[in-house]
Structure 1
Amino acid sequence: MAVLCLDIGGTEIKAMLKGENFEKNLENFPSKAGSNAPSIKDDVFDLVRKLENEYEIEGIAISTAGMVDYKTGIIAGHGPTFKNYKGFDWKSEIKKELGLEAVVENDVKAAAMGELTYGAGKGATSAFVLTVGTGIGGALIIDGKIHRGASGHAGEIGYMPFETDKFEALGSTSALVARAKKFHPEKNFKNGKEIFTAIDAQDEDAIKLVNQMTDILARGISNIMLIANPEMILIGGGISEQKEKFLDPIIEKIKSYVPEDIFESTRIRPTELGNKSGLYGAYAIYRQNTNE
């Protein structure tokens, strides 16, 4: 028995078959989100029928961009890269067409569960996982389960207000690049990678830009630690791989923002699963639901 795990993004869909002692990576396929997101279901149904020739499919676990009503699995909202997605009911469509059970979760929350179950947070019971990229997303895990809050959207730290703007508008990778282009248009700072490469060449402007970013992130993460006091803070996104230039400075700054006992009790690490975290998390959530 295997679960088909899907991670639905705006440009492509990742797929994996997984069981307790079985795992098979499947080929990614293009996402139709930008033209008509509900039509993604046709590709999913075709994939299931193809796989059923060789595997016994137990159910489907979906990690998806957008806001998900965790009680119903219905898409409650989405960004501009998706079209006609709000109100789409994956669980009903899958049950009606394939007769299979399904779980549906927001991609950031699924990624957090993936890291806690199979990745950098394995063994911990509480963690806050944040992703730093185009924006800043987050999810809080308590006692091994996603903490959802009254509206179901706890962990949306990108909206956290700072003095001049929201957290993600100041501390994300896209904010870093925007500042670089605004204040140093003469330099080739087209993306985060180029800015970090410039640090290796002792470029003072690049050093200052990243120092500002790590200070903003350290302040935001310190607030999370003070409120939730989790065992672990896990930081994801491609930029988290920059340990000495990015992660280490954040940790050092956090030390000056929070009490010593809180700092000492919290492990701060990069995520481990990369772009497969959502797949693993969707599977973990499926298992939680079926074992309850």
Structure 2
Amino acid sequence: MAILCLDIGGTEIKSMLKREDFEKTLANFPSKAGTNAPDIRNDVFSLVDELKNDYDIDGIAISTAGMVDYKTGIIAGHGPTFKNYKGFDWKKEIKDELGIPAVVENDVKAAAMGELTYGAGKGFNSAFVLTVGTGIGGALILDGKIHRGASGHAGEIGYMPFETDKFEALASTSALVKNSQKFYPDKNFKNGKIIFNAIDDGDEDAIKLVDDMTRFLARGIANIMLIVNPELILIGGGISEQKEKFLDPIIEKVRAYVPENIFAATRIKATELGNKSGLYGAYAIYKQNIK
């Protein structure tokens, strides 16, 4: 028996077969989210048909972009890259068509569970995981489980207000690029990689841009540490791979914002599982919820 794990994004869908003693990464396939998201089910059902000749599929674990009602698994909302996704009920569709159980979780929360169970957070009981990319997403894990809060959406730190704007409008990768184009239009700072490479060349403008970004991120992380006091802060997104130029400066700036005893109690690390964290997290959530 194996669990089919899916990570549904706006442009592609990742998939993996998983059980405790077995793991098989499957080929990514295009997502129909931008045209009509409910059509994704047909591709999922076709994938199950292909796999069942060689594997017994016991259930399906889904990590998906968008807001998920954790009580029902129904999609509660989504961004502009998805069409007609709100109200879609993965659990019912899968039960009706395949007769097997399913779990559905928001992709950031699933990625957090993946890291805590199989990645950089393994061995920790509490962690806050934030992903830095187009926006900033977050998830809080307490006692090995997702903490959801009163509305079910605890951890949405991208909306956290600062003096001039929301957290993600100041500290995301897209904010870094937007600021570079605003303040230095004559430079070819069209993405984060170019900006970080410019730091290696001693470009003072690139250094200033990243210094501002890491300062805002450090303030946000300091607020999380002061309120939650987790054992671990994990930072994900491609930009987190820039240890000396990104992660190390954040850590030093956080130290200046919080009391030393609080700083010493929390590790700050980069995530480890990359783009497979949602798949591992979906599997971990399936194990927690389906007996």
Q: Which amino acid in the other structure matches residue 172 of structure 1?
A: S
| 1:272 Cα deviation after fit | 0.1
| 1:235 Cα deviation after fit | 0.1
Give the match for residue 259 of structure 1. Answer: 259
Percent of paired sites with the same residue: 82
| 1:263 Cα deviation after fit | 0.3
| 1:260 Cα deviation after fit | 0.6
Give the match for residue 193 of structure 2. Answer: 193
| Partners of 1:104 and 1:124 in 2: CA distance | 24
What is the DSSP-based 3-state SS (H/G/I as helix, E as strand, rest coil) of the residue aligned with 1:162? coil
| 1:290 Cα deviation after fit | 1.9
Q: Which amino acid in the other structure matches residue 34 of structure 1?
A: G
| Partners of 2:183 and 2:261 in 1: CA distance | 39
Q: Structure 1: 5+ residue runs without aligned partners? A: none
Give the match for residue 152 of structure 1. Answer: 152
What is the DSSP-based 3-state SS (H/G/I as helix, E as strand, rest coil) of the residue aligned with 1:180? helix
User: CA offsets per residue over residues 208-254 of structure 1, 9 Å max, x none?
Assistant: 00000000000000000000000000000000000000000000000
| Partners of 1:287 and 1:20 in 2: CA distance | 10
| 1:49 Cα deviation after fit | 1.0
Give the match for residue 129 of structure 2. Answer: 129
| 1:199 Cα deviation after fit | 0.2
Q: Which amino acid in the other structure matches residue 37 of structure 2?
A: A
Give the match for residue 281 of structure 1. Answer: 281
| 1:33 Cα deviation after fit | 0.2
Which 4+ residue blocks in structure 1 deviate beyond 3 angstroms? none
| Partners of 1:56 and 1:223 in 2: CA distance | 46
User: CA offsets per residue over residues 40-73 of structure 1, 9 Å max, x none?
Assistant: 0000000001101100101000000000000000
The CA RMSD over aligned residues, in Å, is 0.4
User: CA offsets per residue over residues 122-154 of structure 1, 9 Å max, x none?
Assistant: 000000000000000000000000000000000
User: CA offsets per residue over residues 234-292 of structure 1, 9 Å max, x none?
Assistant: 0000000000000000000000100111100000000000000000000000000024x
Give the match for residue 77 of structure 1. Answer: 77
Q: How do residues 1-292 of structure 1 correspond to structure 2 at under 5 angstroms?
A: 1-291=1-291
| Partners of 1:15 and 1:268 in 2: CA distance | 29
| Partners of 2:85 and 2:172 in 1: CA distance | 26
Q: Structure 2: 5+ residue runs without aligned partners? A: none
User: CA offsets per residue over residues 61-87 of structure 1, 9 Å max, x none?
Assistant: 000000000000000000000000000
What is the DSSP-based 3-state SS (H/G/I as helix, E as strand, rest coil) of the residue aligned with 2:290? helix
What is the TM-score of this pair, normalised by structure 2? Answer: 1.00
| Partners of 1:208 and 1:11 in 2: CA distance | 33
What is the DSSP-based 3-state SS (H/G/I as helix, E as strand, rest coil) of the residue aligned with 1:28? strand
